[in-house]
Each structure stands twice: as structure tokens, then as C-alpha cells.
Amino acid sequence: MMLLNEDAKRAEAAMHATTARNDLSKEVVLRGLEQREEEREAFFAEEEIRKMPKQFRKLFRANRVTAHVRRKQNGVYEIRAQINGIKIAASAKLLDIAKERFIAKLPESATERGAEKVNARMLFVEYMAKWLETVRKPRVKDETFDGYMRTFRKNIEPYFAGKSIAEIGVFDLQDLISCYVDEGKDRTAKKVYQLLKACFECAVSDGLLMRSPMAKIDSPYYEPDDGVPLSIEEEARLVSNLKADPSLFNQAFAFMLYTGIRRGELASVDVADGWVTLISGKGRKGRKVKRRSLPVSPMLKRVLPYIDVEAIKSLKAISLTHAFKRRFPEHHLHELRHTFITRAQSCKIQRELVSFWAGHKADNSVTSMVYTHFEKCPEFQIECITLFDYEI
């Protein structure tokens, strides 16, 4: 009887022990679930990110910096992160207070000195060249990218050669831009400013810098010229140059004068069956190619015997620009386009049709946007182009 009682007691004790272990396991699981739930809530909300210094907001929004949160055995929350090699930590019994302390430590702990230490060997010109090749090039046309590279090689690279990205400050950048402004090269100053601004913003997003030094520099003012068409006398000189010296440049200038095409569109032109067809130069890279056409005008027909269309298509846009400036120093190459449009309207050709031939976007009127379809009226275009005929 006594043995039975002892067995019963041992069984009861074992049962209590099992129950206690199960309860403990449940408590551990619940604590773990609670902790994971609290860690999910520990991510910085948008209103908390807005309280951070400006240079840190993009890093946290883009998840380039992750704050790790844990709850210690004593119930204290600890938030830790590492930015540019600088460790930041804050703790408190309440998670919200721990977050506030962490945000307060950002300006004093993750300073530019940390970025300078990490990027001491990162040469700016190397970074910018890589940025142009990997970020800019895939998004723009070849001609546009070539322009970016010319500005970089000629106007930026020599000034910052040998300097790390962390060494370049506001004064360096302002001196460079002011130099071009003082020389009256406002357009160059604007191009340099735009490239530097975009490049440094990328460096901030990369975590290489805490803030862009371009943020404190105002954009230089540049007002593009409206463009002045060639006079009748200048037009006559251009045609005389072609007949006296039918070089490829002179051929190209006459062709552009009587078609109004952009310099970047020349490589795509084709002349056949009384029509000039080409690919519009205003479309963005990656988007659907837009083609347009215009009839051969009487003015173009007179000079076509002097022009090898296939040969002039090989000329580089920048070479065309420089060659035209040598012949007509008071004009820009794009003003051949101004001349075509001006002459066409002077010949009483309706403005909407001239815009269509030039590849301009239709205006916002219902008539232009909805009811005008010149591409489906070739006979009307041929009839109107006969008006493009005048004495020079």
C-alpha cells in the first residue's frame, strides 16, 4: 500500500514537472513572439524619419541604412546602426524613447568625418566617369551622352584631377562655376552645374557622402538665344559656297537649310520619290522611334544635284557645329532650322503644316490635337510645298 502511494506521488510530481516545463516553453514562445512583434514596430515611421537631419532621410527611406533593434533581458530596448564606418547606438526602457535618442545621436555621431575616412581613396573623377557610363549613358541618346562626356573631360576633370570625393567642398565647386560665369560662358557654367549636382546626389544615395556640397550652390543663370534666321544675303552666300566648293560640310548646310532638320537627325535622312524621310531627334532613348517626312521643296530641288545625301549622313554633329561657326561666326548651326521655318511661313504655308514638317509638338487646341492629320494627306503637302519657292 505504501509503495502504491509513493508511485502515485512520483507520478503526480512528474506530471506537475511536465506541466511546468510546458508552461515555461509557452512563456518563452510568447516572449519571443512579443519581442519579434516589437521589433517589427521598431522600424522608423515616416514621421520619425522627418525628424532626422536631412542628409540621413534618403538613407533610411531607401533602406541603405538599417537600424537593428533588440530587447535585452532587463527589458531595455537597444537600437544600433553603422553609417559610413561610424557606429551609432541608443537605448531606453521604452521603444519610442530609444528611437528619439537614436535620432538625436545622428548629427553628432555620423558626421562627414566618417565619410571622409571611408572615401579617402575614392577619386572624384573616377567616380564621375563611372556614374556617367553606368547611370547616364543607358538613359540618353548617344549624341546627348557625347555632350556630357565633352563637358566632363574639358570642363570638370582637369579641375578636380587627383582629388578624392570627400575633399571637394562648396568653395571648390563655386570657384569652378564662377570662373565660367566671369568669362561670359553662362551656358558652360549651367552644364557643369547640372552634371555636378546630379553626380553628387548619386554619391549621397550611394552612402559615399552625408550631404551634397552642391546643395549650397545656386544654379547659374543662362537664357538661351531665341535664334536669328539667316538673311537672304547670307542664304545666298551659303548656296554660292556650295556651288563653288561642294565639300561635305557645305552640302550638309544647304540640305539642313531647306529641310529644317536638327543636326542629330541628319544621320537618319533618306531622299526618295520626292520625299525626305527621317527619324525624329526629340524622342527619348528606349521609347518608340518616331519618323516624319516632308516633300522635296523647289528650293531643295535646286541644290540636290550638288549634294551626296549618303555621304553627308556620316558627318558628326559636333563637327557640323564647329564648321558652321567658322563660316558664319554670327550664327549657330541650329539657326538653319529657324531659317527654314521662317521662310516657309513667309511663303504663306500654314503654321500647323510647318510645325508638322519641323517635328514640333502640336499645340493644345482641339483642331491641332484631334482633327489635323497631315500624314494622311500627302497630296495636300505636295501642293503646299510648291509655295516654298523664292529668289535669293
Rounded Cα distance between 259 and 226, Å, is 20
State residue 343's pLDDT score. 96
Distance of CA 178 to CAs 168, 173, 217, 360, 386, Å?
16, 9, 11, 35, 51
Distance of CA 345 to CAs 260, 349, 384, 388, Å?
12, 5, 11, 9
State residue 322's pLDDT score. 95
Sequence-ordered alpha helix ranges (H) in the chain: 2-41, 46-49, 54-61, 95-109, 112-118, 124-131, 142-151, 157-160, 170-182, 186-205, 232-244, 248-257, 298-303, 309-312, 317-327, 335-346, 351-358, 366, 378-385
> 124-216 sits in which CATH class?
mainly alpha
State residue 3's pLDDT score. 43
Place of cell 584631377: 161
Rounded Cα distance between 323 and 349, Å, is 31
State residue 112's pLDDT score. 47
Residue 242, C-alpha cell as written in the block = 556650295
Where does CATH 1.10.443.10 sit in the chain? Answer: 232-385
State residue 377's pLDDT score. 84
State residue 283's pLDDT score. 61
State residue 287's pLDDT score. 66
State residue 284's pLDDT score. 62
CATH superfamily of 232-385: Intergrase catalytic core (1.10.443.10)
Q: Running DSSP on this structure, what letter comes out for residue 275? A: E
Distance of CA 343 to CAs 91, 385, 387, Å?
75, 12, 10
State residue 25's pLDDT score. 47
Mean pLDDT for each 10-residue chunk of the chain (392 residues)? 52 55 47 44 76 81 81 89 78 90 75 47 90 91 90 95 90 94 92 95 84 90 82 97 96 97 94 94 68 95 97 94 95 95 95 90 49 73 95 92
Angle formed by the axes of helices 54-61 and 186-205, nearest 10°:
60
Residue 125, C-alpha cell as written in the block = 573623377
Q: Which secondary structure element, helix H or strand E, spans residue 78, and what is its range?
A: strand 77-83
Rounded Cα distance between 352 and 363, Å, is 9
Rounded Cα distance between 221 and 186, Å, is 7
Q: What are phi and psi of 68, to 5 degrees?
A: -90, 130
Rounded Cα distance between 128 and 165, Å, is 9
**CB-based contact 91:101 (threshold 8 Å):** yes
Length of the chain: 392
Where does CATH 1.10.150.130 sit in the chain? Answer: 124-216
State residue 371's pLDDT score. 37
Rounded Cα distance between 253 and 133, Å, is 32
